[in-house]
A and B are shown apart, each in its own frame.
Chain A
Amino acid sequence: MKDIFKNREVWLGVVIVGMIGAITLRSPSFATPSNLGQIFNDTSILIILALGQMTVILTRSIDLSMAANLCFTGMVVAMLNAAHPDIPIFVLIFIALFVGLILGAINGALVWKVGIPPIVVTLGTLTIYRGATFVISGGAWVNADKMSPEFINFQRADILGVPVLSLIAILVVIVFQVFLTRTPLGRSIFAIGVNPTAAVYTGIDVGRTKFVAFCMSGLLAGLAGYLWISRYVIASVEVANGYELNIIAACVIGGISIAGGTGSVGGAVLGALFLGVISTALPVINISPFWQMAISGSAIIFAIVLNARSERKQGRIILKKAETA
């Protein structure tokens, strides 16, 4: 029983439920199932992106180019849809996944084969991908009236009362939970984050595993690219500008250590939901949305302090066990 409360995810869950409870006191309609479902739906894209970022962060890397990848992929599918409205939606989603994967693989290859530090690679590709969006679109926007109804409505459709967007997020969460905890590749992603040297001696190819992690984050950024564009029904060069830091913030709040090797799918989901609840709640309790940035900034700093403390505590517990043994 005590162990449950040592668990990071449980605490974060309690904080989120507490927040929802406090807001409901001010505005009783906040905690209705339909509104909570709406919050999850609004946060779905951030959840998907956070899982990709987490996979990269676990390997002691960072992907600053996810938002730019999303922007580029979104523009590609939006332009394809505008030019050829008859392309089926599943083909477009497949193209989004593929383009995202390629962009992620470019990052991964530069890290793996050339050996440039990930932060430098993705800092460079961040500007390149966003610039490339401008080049392919010529700076023009793709508006709602140019997109086909199928393109816009696919993710809004309900299956058993749950929007497709939420279902996609849930599916991604399940797949990543299984991938990271139940497959050799997923475990090796954790292993190279905890101790790269030891990972090499156990026969894990560190560079290749990092490459795979970048491919994963690219793949999910591509998926999010389609979802974002069809949700906000506008594709422009400015889409998701600066969003890369929100993604990292969700991961940090979710207890994923920037030093690699520590983190869980549940943590990333809760970190994203935390930010989602805040951004939905502020207008409800009559706080100007301009407060959101400062609040999430404070939340990040608070979460890092907490992360650092829990990591230190773990160290002490190991020593105590060693003493008693």
Chain B
Amino acid sequence: MSIAPTVRHIPDRLDKAITSTLLSWESLLVLVAVAIFIANSLASPYFLDAYALSDLTFNFAEKASIALAMALLIISGEIDLSVAATMALASTLMGFAAQYGFGTFGLVMIGIAVGLACGAFNGFLVTALNLPSIVVTIGTMSLFRGVSFIILGDQAYKGYPESFAFFGQGYVWGVISFEFALFLVAAVIYWFLLHKTNFGRRIFAIGNNQVTAQFSGVRVKRIKFILFCLTGLMAGIASILLTSRLGSTRPSIAQGYELEAITMVVLGGVSILGGAGSIIGVVLAAFIMGLVTFGLGLLNVPGIVMSIFIGFLLIIIIALPILWRRFGWLIKA
């Protein structure tokens, strides 16, 4: 008597109860975002204006674009602290080229190429030489910005072509700025890449257990290298946007952007230890940070006080679920 082998169906994803969706990180972020939006519109009469809201997007589009790629990198268990320095270097070299009469197209190509090259350099050091990414990128952070300082010193580049201003100041449709449109397109691309492709599943696999991923045939190093390149690329693009918006370059440009981008990623529910996170969370976190800084700005709150708020937001939002898991039973009982 032969026993027919039982065919077991293994689902790609487990069915989720509606309550778990409601209690998810993303819903928490949506609630926070809505609350801040309402608070803002009550606090300032200037908030609910189409052009004001459009200005808001300039506030975070550049950092948020970097955060998209950074999210993938952090999910894979690495980090890149050199993104702001990459922006500075890309901006400096674009300014350098503009002095020699490069056109807008040439400048954009240079920005993208420098970003990619910086990302590839980080990726090479981390994957080929097996070095920890956090210290490597602290080193390259000094190196990239240091090169900007060598080239520029205390000078500044101005005199970008007029058509170059479109990227940071132009509108594509009505009140939708080019920066915001680009960010939305990038968000969709990264969402697809992370959540709908094999490549994205492998990123999660690497972040959860690198050794297992390696033995399952995932090319860990190649994927990490690609992720560093993508992060560099996004930094290059962000540099084009920022340079175009400001119309000038100093070596201290984009200082501190790396910490803000990482804050967005972590606030978006990406585990800093790797292996978990979603693009939707990062996009929501970017909106929250944009809303907070813009709303407080309308109320004439200085930028540094806003950063306190962001700091508290970061710690509290990370601590809440941990404390909930630990002390939730107290409330139920």
Contacts and interface: CB of A to CB of B under 8 A. Distances in A.
Interface string A283-325: 0000010111111111011001100100000000000000000
Interface stretch (A131-139, A159-167, A186-194): A131-139
Contacts of A248: 135, 138
B282 to A, nearest CB: 15
B307 A131 contact: yes
A288 B150 CA distance: 8
A259 B135 CA distance: 10
Contact of B138 (A127, A237, A249, A293): A249
A44 interface: no
A88 interface: no
A121 B308 CA distance: 13
B312 interface: yes
A116 interface: yes
Contact of B146 (A117, A135, A242, A291): A291
A121 B315 CA distance: 6
A123 B129 contact: no
B81 to A, nearest CB: 8
A293 B308 contact: no
Contact of A128 (B81, B132, B308): B308
A81 to B, nearest CB: 23
8 contacts: A114-B323, A116-B315, A117-B272, A123-B259, A292-B146, A294-B147, A297-B139, A300-B142
A24 to B, nearest CB: 25
Contacts of A290: 146, 149-150, 152-154, 251
Interface of B: 81, 125, 129-132, 134-136, 138-147, 149-150, 152-154, 251, 255-256, 259, 262-263, 266, 272-273, 302, 304-305, 307-308, 310-312, 314-315, 318-319, 322-323
Given A110-B315, A131-B304, A291-B149, 16 more contacts: A114-B322, A120-B272, A123-B314, A124-B312, A245-B81, A248-B138, A295-B146, A298-B139, A300-B139, A300-B142, A301-B139, A301-B140, A304-B132, A304-B139, A305-B125, A308-B130
Contact of A120 (B135, B138, B144, B314): B314
Interface centre among B125, B129, B132, B135 (most CB of A within 10 A): B135
A115 interface: yes
B143 A301 contact: yes
A119 interface: yes
B323 A304 contact: no
Contacts of A139: 302, 304
A27 to B, nearest CB: 22
B260 to A, nearest CB: 9
A258 interface: yes
A252 interface: yes
A130 interface: yes
A249 B119 CA distance: 20
A147 interface: no
Interface centre among B130, B146, B311 (most CB of A within 10 A): B311
Nearest to B263: A123
A245 B143 contact: no
Contacts of B315: 110, 116, 120-121, 124-125, 128
B146 A304 contact: no
A110 B305 CA distance: 22
Given A123-B263, A290-B149, A295-B146, A304 B322 contact: no
B143 A258 contact: no
Given A116-B315, A131-B307, A242-B255, A258 B132 contact: yes
Contacts of A116: 315, 318-319, 322
Contact of A297 (B143, B262, B307): B143
Contacts of B311: 123-128, 131
B314 A294 contact: no
Contacts of A294: 142-143, 146-147, 149-150
A54 to B, nearest CB: 13
B146 A305 contact: no
Complex A-B, nearest 3 residue pairs according to Cβ-Cβ distance, in ascending order:
A294-B146, A297-B142, A297-B143
A234 interface: no
A297 B159 CA distance: 30
Interface string A219-238: 00000000000000000010
Nearest to A296: B142
Contacts of A242: 255-256
